[in-house]
Chains A and B, each alone.
Chain A
Amino acid sequence: STSGDDSGGGDGGSDDLTPVSLQLQWLPQGQFAGYYAALDQGFFEEEGLDVEIIPSGGDIVPQDALVAGDVDYAIAWVPKALGSIEAGANITDIAQIFQRSGTLQVAWADSGIETVADFEGKRIGSWGFGNEWEIFAAMAAEGLDSTSVEIITQDFNMNAFLEGDIDAAQAMTYNEYAQLLESTDPDTGELYQPEDFSVIDYNEAGGAMLQDAIWADTERLESDEEYQETTVAFLKAVIKGWAYAASDPEAAADITINEGSGWGLTHELWMVNETNKLIWPSDNGIGIIDEEAWNSTVEGALSATNESGASLITEEPPSTAYTNEWIQMAHDELEGDDIDLTGADFEPIEVELTEGGE
């Protein structure tokens, strides 16, 4: 890489940086610690990139922003992006950052909901906005019809579950599950404990789909050499960022808080730590797309239908939907550096949650 030479030039170097924008799929928070760490620690700059990270939220669709040309890369869950691809979006998964799904379905320990099969006739929470497909895929795997449950849109907090409006709430390991553990049990006056809940992990229950991935514009990838170069440089910096987050989660949490994450300190730390667990260890190396996991995601997307009878996709996605070409090049270029690309030694830390996550 030539980036080292460029930045050696001094302060005026920023003129030579390639501007790059990255669209997140939610608000700034520990989930995106690696990208913010790369920004904060100057990894992007080292690679000759001037990166702007654009947060999202609500019903903004990152892959649409990518297709529209607003941004150069976007973070999106694979199933949602598959839907967009079938609708006509020409995008490619260039790095599968999360190797595992972080989605849980949480019920009360005494609710009798232990498996997806127990969903039948229950009020099942989901956030909507396309986050519901794992539930439908898991149910489809169990032979359950989507109309056999009542799907209720959750707010992005756990009030509905805590108040008993829904029997099983959708929760990310790194966020909503922590919110539960940060809440006080009115009966005991103490925080809820993991044993108070019955947790269904879609990785085990089936239906799990690939989540946070980096998407790029297919056409530009094929024809635009500059973009190709930028892509590799970008991926390298991202890898460094996530490696940093793995090695120093406290610092990474501080970075995202400073970037405007509204969470409390312990909650943020928990989030970074749990996110790390979804990434590391990464047997094939960070970002490499595992064909088996990809195929099972596609299979789930094909089989799931929502309550209006719509399915996520109706045919196999095109071969351009993912490629390991660029992430592999990034790996190759980083080979010499002192970075553990598989996270073989990764050890998560222990985070003690406090009331309200503060």
Chain B
Amino acid sequence: MSARSRDTLVRAGAPVALGVFVLVAWQLIVTVGEIDDYLLPSPLSIAGQVVEFWPSLVAAVGSTGLNALIGLVVGSVVGVGIALLASLSRVVDYLSAPLVAGLAVVPIVALAPVLNTMFGADSETGRRTIAGLAVFVPVFINTLRGLRQTAPVHRDLMRSYAAKPGQVVRVLTIPAARPYIFTGIRIASSLAVISALVAEYFGGPRGGLGSLISSSAATSAYARAWAYVVGGIVLGLLFFVVTSALERLVTPSAAFPHGTTDSTTRTSSTSSTNLSNTAPRKELT
């Protein structure tokens, strides 16, 4: 047991230790090297700016965060919806496949200027559309993959129960796809934040993180720019952590970990029947 808890301690502690080390080294380099804030702001002066501009930082995080959130929600809903249609109809599948494949490799931010004109520069809709498009791709791809995860044995079972199509979707397809859907949303979460933020560079209402970063940098107020960057990082992290938690919640093997190696929990070595592991295990966590 102690070995196990030591292991988790190392896993959680190592990144924190690395982070602290980098921060301290950064501060030392700036302090000892007497590097001007102008060239490289130190962590402490960035922290000072965070404190000084706290209200506007919070407002900016709120504004960019709202855009990202709306993009995430709308993009996810649309992504799941179209994926559902594509899993049910081969025509929809074939129609959407090339578009999504294209969308996946196309620089969506390039659309920012024209979207701003289309939706109006006083409107956040253009940015939200960018975020939504960026979110749509991974959610769609993962959902579709998830919807195709139903094992043949389960499909046979449903048929043997003479289950109606609606019942199959409710009882089998959606639950099997759920971990995949949330994996897609988790991946999309940081994309939503970055896209919403980058889109601010191409116009629209001010007050978000992106526009404040650029206007701070324009007068060489780099420590302040970094303070807003920190806001962006925190926002991205927040999205990531929340969506990761959601993902864990719906992934069966994570919800019910093999806490023990007690004989009752271990399947025989010849058995490959343990289907619970069909849920995707993530590389990112």
Q: Which residues of A contact B (CB under 8 A)?
A: 59, 61, 63-64, 67, 79-80, 82-84, 87-89, 123, 125-126, 128-132, 150-155, 159-160, 163-166, 306-310, 312
Kindly identify, within residues 113 to 135 of chain B, every residue whose CB is under 8 Å from any CB belonging to chain A. 113, 116-117, 120-123
Contact, CB under 8 Å: B206 / A307: yes
User: How distant is the Cα of A83 from the Cα of B38 in the complex, in angstroms?
Assistant: 11
Contact, CB under 8 Å: B122 / A308: no
Rounded to whole Å, the gap between the CB of B109 and the closest CB of chain A is 13
A153 with B220, Cβ < 8 A, contacts A59-B214, A87-B38 known: no
Looking at the complex, which of B53-61, B169-177, B250-258 is the stretch in contact with chain A? B53-61
Q: Which residues of B contact A (CB under 8 A)?
A: 36-39, 53, 55-57, 59-60, 113, 116-117, 120-123, 200-207, 211-212, 214-222, 224
Nearest B residue to A64, CB-CB: B220
Choice from B57, B113, B122, B221 contacting A123 with Cβ under 8 Å:
B122
Contact, CB under 8 Å: B217 / A87: no
Nearest B residue to A130, CB-CB: B218
Contacts of B205 in A (CB 8 A): 150-153
Nearest B residue to A156, CB-CB: B203
Nearest A residue to B206, CB-CB: A151
Contacts of A151 in B (CB 8 A): 205-207
Rounded to whole Å, the gap between the CB of A311 and the closest CB of chain B is 10
Beyond A152-B121, A310-B53, list 7 extra A-B contacts (CB 8 Å). Answer: A63-B220, A83-B219, A84-B219, A130-B215, A152-B204, A165-B120, A308-B56
Contact, CB under 8 Å: B121 / A128: no
Contact, CB under 8 Å: B37 / A88: yes
Contacts of A123 in B (CB 8 A): 122
Instruction: List 7 tightest A-B contacts by C-beta distance, closest first.
Output: A83-B219, A88-B38, A130-B218, A308-B56, A160-B121, A84-B220, A165-B122
A87 with B120, Cβ < 8 A, contacts A59-B214, A153-B203, A308-B56 known: no
Contacts of A125 in B (CB 8 A): 121
Contact, CB under 8 Å: A166 / B122: yes
Contact, CB under 8 Å: A61 / B122: no
Nearest B residue to A169, CB-CB: B121
Contacts of B200 in A (CB 8 A): 153
Rounded to whole Å, the gap between the CB of A161 and the closest CB of chain B is 9
User: How distant is the Cα of A314 from the Cα of B227 in the complex, in angstroms?
Assistant: 19
Contacts of B60 in A (CB 8 A): 308
Rounded to whole Å, the gap between the CB of A69 and the closest CB of chain B is 11
Rounded to whole Å, the gap between the CB of A285 and the closest CB of chain B is 29
Choice from A129, A307, A310 contacting B214 with Cβ under 8 Å:
A129
Contacts of A83 in B (CB 8 A): 218-221
Rounded to whole Å, the gap between the CB of B253 and the closest CB of chain A is 46
Contacts of A307 in B (CB 8 A): 56, 206-207
Nearest A residue to B53, CB-CB: A308
Contacts of B214 in A (CB 8 A): 59, 128-129
Contacts of B212 in A (CB 8 A): 308
Report which residue of B113, B201, B211 has the largest number of chain A beta carbons within 10 angstroms of its beta carbon: B211
User: How distant is the Cα of A165 from the Cα of B206 in the complex, in angstroms?
Assistant: 13
User: How distant is the Cα of A164 from the Cα of B59 in the complex, in angstroms?
Assistant: 26
User: How distant is the Cα of A150 from the Cα of B63 in the complex, in angstroms?
Assistant: 14
Rounded to whole Å, the gap between the CB of B144 and the closest CB of chain A is 36
User: How distant is the Cα of A166 from the Cα of B224 in the complex, in angstroms?
Assistant: 28
Contact, CB under 8 Å: A155 / B215: no
Contact, CB under 8 Å: B218 / A61: yes
Rounded to whole Å, the gap between the CB of B42 and the closest CB of chain A is 13
Nearest B residue to A161, CB-CB: B121
Contacts of A59 in B (CB 8 A): 201, 214, 217-218
User: How distant is the Cα of A164 from the Cα of B203 in the complex, in angstroms?
Assistant: 15
Contacts of A128 in B (CB 8 A): 206, 211, 214-215, 218
Contact, CB under 8 Å: A154 / B218: no
Contacts of B117 in A (CB 8 A): 155, 159-160, 163
Provide a sorted-by-A list of 22 A–B residue pairs whose CB atoms are within 8 angstroms: A59-B201, A59-B214, A61-B220, A83-B220, A84-B38, A84-B219, A87-B38, A87-B220, A88-B220, A89-B220, A125-B121, A128-B215, A131-B218, A151-B207, A152-B205, A152-B206, A153-B204, A155-B117, A163-B117, A163-B120, A309-B55, A310-B221
Contacts of B219 in A (CB 8 A): 79-80, 82-84, 87, 130, 312
Choice from B38, B121, B222 contacting A153 with Cβ under 8 Å:
B121
Contacts of A84 in B (CB 8 A): 38, 219-220
Contacts of B55 in A (CB 8 A): 309
Rounded to whole Å, the gap between the CB of A118 and the closest CB of chain B is 18
Contact, CB under 8 Å: A154 / B121: yes
Choice from B204, B206, B221 contacting A87 with Cβ under 8 Å:
B221
Nearest A residue to B38, CB-CB: A88
Rounded to whole Å, the gap between the CB of B166 and the closest CB of chain A is 45
Contacts of B113 in A (CB 8 A): 155
Nearest B residue to A58, CB-CB: B201
Rounded to whole Å, the gap between the CB of B246 and the closest CB of chain A is 32
Contacts of A164 in B (CB 8 A): 120
Contact, CB under 8 Å: B37 / A153: no
Contacts of B216 in A (CB 8 A): 310
Contact, CB under 8 Å: B220 / A165: no
Rounded to whole Å, the gap between the CB of A222 and the closest CB of chain B is 18
